[in-house]
Amino acid sequence: MNCIVTAGPTYEPLDDVRRLTNFSTGRLGTELANFLTARGHKVTLLIGESATYSGKRKAKSVQIFSTTADLRAKLESFSGKRVHAIFHAAAVSDFGFGKIFTPNDKGELIALKASRKMSTRAGAMLVELVPTPKILAELRGWFPQTGLVGWKYEANGKRTNAIGAAQRQMVDCDTDACVANGPAYGPGFGLVADGGQKHFADATKLFSALAKLF
C-alpha cells in the first residue's frame, strides 16, 4: 500500500517572529507511519516543523511542513499519483490572522499594516482571527479513489459527543473513516467507519485496524 501520513501542527504567522499554532507533538502520526513501514507499506510522512516528538521517523520519505498553506500544497502535489490511503492526523491550525488593530489616544481602533515584526510600542494590539480552510475537506477532490481517514480531537462533552463529531466530519469531508480521541472520548481511541464504530484501548491496536481498512 502506498500511503501518506500527516502529523504534528501547522502554524499561522502573525509576522516573521510570532505565530499561532495548535498543540501537537506529532507522536501519534509518526508512530503510525513507523507501524505501516514495518509492515511493508510505502509511507510518506508529512510532519510539522514544530513537532516535538523525538522518536525515530522510519517512513521511506519524510517531508517537513510549516504553515497550513504549506501542508495543503504538499498534499496537493501528490494528486494524480497512485495513493491508496491518506491518514490525516496533523493538528491543522483552526484559525489564521486577519486584520490587526491598536487603540489610539481616544480609544478608537486604528488598523495596523502588516510588517516583518509588529511593533509593541503602541501597547495593546487587537487581532482578528479568521478560520483556516479545512484541508481534509479538499482531499476527496484531489484523491477521488483514495481511502481517506481523518482525526477528530474533542475536548468537551462525553464519548457520544466525540463519536457524533467524528460522524459529522465523515459526512462533511467525504472521508471513509475517522479516529475520535481527546478528553471527551476518554482513554483509547474510537474508529468510526461506514460499518459502525470500534473502540481500541491503545495506539498499536488502532494502527492494526487502520492498516486493514484499505
**What are the pLDDT digits (tens) for 92-124?**
999 999 998 887 777 778 787 877 887 777 677
Nearest-CA neighbor of 15 among 123, 104, 121, 112?
112
Asked if residue 122 and residue 176 are part of one domain, the reply reads no
| One domain for residues 81 and 123 | no
Taken in order 184, 185, 191, 197, the sign of the CA dihedral is: negative
Residues 9, 70 within the same domain: yes
> Domain span at residue 112?
96-129
* Same domain assignment for residues 78 and 31: yes
Contact 127, 27 (CB under 8 A): no
The SS3 call for residue 147 is strand
Residues 65 and 153 occupy one common structural domain:
yes
Task: Name the residue with higher pLDDT: 108 or 59.
Answer: 59
Q: What is the pLDDT of residues 151-174, one digit of tens each?
A: 999 999 999 999 999 999 999 999
In angstroms, the CA 3 to CA 84 distance is: 6
pTM of the model: 0.92
